[in-house]
Structures are given as structure tokens and as C-alpha cells.
Amino acid sequence: MDLHEHQGKELFAQAGIPVAEGRVAFTADEARAAAEDLGGRVVVKAQVLTGGRGKAGGVKVVDGPGPAQQAADTILGLDIKGHITRRLLVERAVAIADEYYFSITFDRAAKMPLLMLTTMGGMDVEAVAEEHPDRLARLHVDPALGYRGFHGQRLMSMANVPVGERKALAPLLAALYGVFADRDAMLVEVNPLVRLEDDTFLAADAKVTIDDNALYRQPDVEAMRDLAAADPQEQAAREADLAYVKLDGDVGILGNGAGLVMSTVDVIAQVGGRPANFCDVGGGASAEKIATALGIVLSDDKVQSVLFNIFGGITRGDEVAKGLLGALEQTAVRAPIVVRLDGTNAAEGRALLAEAARPEITVEETMLAAAETAVRLAGEVA
């Protein structure tokens, strides 16, 4: 789960990490009130779950409540890489002397947290890694050891942080690691981590991703979920405990197993179609589960045909066929469904579907044939 900047900063503040004083605003009036409250110069920042908002005009530094209201008016509703801006963070502007970068990522290859620090902050870290690899300090933390003071000392030394600044920076690095470890984060990134003119440090941005599998023990983070920013289908799928990802084509896709569904999405594209979504119904084949999944896939107006791709394992093909037929009793579907059933008891399942002779169902034996038919049917409707 990705957090908004202001949510990440809330976790930072709880861990004693300095952040600028700020208020969240959902309207221009609220932004004006926030600026009045904070006084003086403020920064109005779009809160969207994507990068590149600065370039897109989503960050403005202004003086006073009136200009803050105007800035908010411009930024609210702004489309930043497909994300509509619906909330703002209004923060007291700070006097920046220097911009650094610090992150803790979950290094899957090394199976250890990876610390990265550079004094070249404020820019894209992949560009720093590319153009100035010597300036990007990287250090792993052995999970059995956890973060120790020496990790910070070594990292600051590798990054050539001026010696006089290290005493002030070290506690921030430690506290940010604390957020990473205690909050089950997959990513904690601060860009820029700023040195102020009074030689103290402050987290001027916050990019935090929390492990979905750990949300059960981070209830306050789960409560931060921005339902308005979520795609309606993805939200409905989450509530039904289904894995769903919205794509932007017209062939809806359902199947059992993440790998098989990913593969089905690829095959739809390979035969010239445009996949509308990824939806893994998982194991089991209850009519209710299939009906729920079908309902979510079809609630996307773009979907013109549906491919239901099942490879029966422990879940048998005849059970899946019964589940699908039961689902069609429960919900009317508005688009043709192509069913491909293979694996355990697939023949029995296909026989059941043939017997029911539902006009909305076309049965195919192979994944490729099913994909071709689904793409053709989507084209006929469109």
C-alpha cells in the first residue's frame, strides 16, 4: 500500500523525525484556512500516489492565504500521470541550505534492507546512480543485526557528508530505519532530505510503501487508505479479497492463479487484443466467488468480452463449470464469455457447459484459441 506524502510524514513525526508543520486540505477554502493558520510563506503540494508532481505543476510556493487559495484552485483536479489531485498538503515553507537523498528499500536479491544516501538530493535517484554512481552510497543492513549506529556513520562517510553535519543527520537516519522496520515498510524514501540554514535536518518529502501482507498488524496505516484515489473496480475487488488490476483494454480476464492470469493477459495482447484487467479468482470455484469476480470485471464499461481461463488442479473443472453456471443464474451478464477449461475433470466441465447451452458462453479447448475468440468477440461489439 502506497502512502500519500502527508501520511508518510505522519508516521515520520510519530517516530520523532522533523517535518515541516502542515495541514491537509481537500478544498481551496481549506487551503486558505491552512495558510492563515500557518502564517507566512507556504508550500501547496498535490497529494497523488505517483511521482513527477513538481514537473506537472503540482507544487507551488506562495505568500499568504489568498495566493494559497489560488494555488489550491489550480492544483486541485490536476491530472498527474492519470492521477487526479483530490487533496493537498499545505506546509510552512522552510529555509533550505542543501538537499540530500536518503532511502531504505527492500533489496529482494540480497534479502536485506538497503540504505542509500547521496548529497545530490532533489533529483531522480536512478539518474544519480547512472551518472554519478560514486556519489550514491549504498549499504546493506543484516536483518539479524538490525540498524546500528555504525551503519549511519559508515553511510555518511561513504556519501561524503561534511563531518560537521553528521551529528545532526545520524539520528534521522536511525529514526527513518525505525519507521521502515516497525511499520513493515517495503520502501521509505526521503527526497529531498534537507539541511536547513540553521544546520538541522528535516524530511521535506516522504514516499512510503507498506507491505500489504502486514497491514493486519498496522491498523492505523490501513485506516489511511485513500478510497477516492483507488480505482472503483480495484476497491471492490479488495473488499471481496480478489486480486484485480485495472488495465485499459476491452477484453476482461478472469482465471485461477496469478501466473496463469498474467500469462492470459499477455496472450490476449499477443493475438492482437487489449486486456481490460488482471483478475485472479484464486482456488475454489463457488458460484458466489465467480459471480462476484464476473460482476467486478463487467462493471468496467470498456469490457466487451470476457475470457475465463481455468486450469483445474485441486479445484476440478466440473466444479468450476457448476460455479460459473450458478453465477450466471445469480447475475445477468452483458458481454459474451469465452471459457477455457483444462486440467482435472476438464472434459466433464465442458460437457456440463455444453448441456446448459447458455447463449452467453463459448467454450474453447486451448488458451490460444480462447484468447483469439475473446478478442474477436470484443471487436464485433465495438
Question: Does the protein bind other proteins through residue 102 (CB under 8 A)?
Answer: no
Rounded Cα distance, 39 and 52, in Å: 27
Among 156, 267, 341, 363, binds other proteins (CB under 8 A): 267
Work out whether 245 is an interface residue with other proteins (CB under 8 A).
yes
Residue in this structure with the C-alpha cell 484468447, named with its chain if needed: 371
Q: Report the relative pairing of strands 41-46 and 88-92 from DSSP bridges.
A: antiparallel
DSSP state letter for 299: T
Query: Are the C-beta atoms of residues 311 and 343 closer than 8 Å to each other?
Result: yes
String marking each residue 134-163 x if it binds other proteins according to CB under 8 A: --------xxx-------------------
Cβ atoms < 10 Å from Cβ of 354: 12
For the beta sheet containing 88-92, the strands, ordered from the edge strand earlier in sequence to the opposite edge, are 22-25, 88-92, 41-46, 59-63
- Residue 311 touches other proteins, criterion: CB under 8 A: yes
Q: Cell numbers for 282, please give them.
A: 484464486
What is the rounded distance in angstroms from the CA atom of residue 262 to the CA atom of residue 250?
Answer: 16
Residue 77 binds to other proteins (criterion: CB under 8 A):
no
In angstroms, what is the minimal distance from the CB of 270 to other proteins?
6
Q: How many residues bind other proteins (CB under 8 A)?
A: 51
One of 318, 319, 342, 364 touching other proteins (CB under 8 A): 342
Is 234 noted as a catalytic residue in this protein?
A: no
Kind and range of the H or E element at 380? helix 367-381
Query: Is 260 one of the binding residues for other proteins (CB under 8 A)?
Result: yes
Shortest distance (Å) from residue 92 CB to other proteins: 31
Q: Which three cell numbers stand for residue 355?
A: 448441456
How many Å apart are CA 182 and CA 163, to the nearest integer? 29
Residue 212 lies near other proteins (rule: CB under 8 A): yes
Question: To the nearest whole angstrom, how small is the minimum distance from the Cβ of residue 112 to other proteins?
Answer: 7
| Least distance from other proteins to the Cβ atom of residue 274, Å | 9
Secondary structure class of 117 (helix, strand, coil): strand
Please state the closest distance from residue 328 (CB atom) to other proteins, in A.
23
Binding site for other proteins (CB under 8 A): 2, 106, 108-109, 111-113, 126, 142-144, 181, 184, 186, 211-214, 216-217, 243, 245, 247, 255-263, 265-270, 275, 278, 280, 311-314, 342-344, 366-368
Instruction: List active site positions.
Output: 101, 189
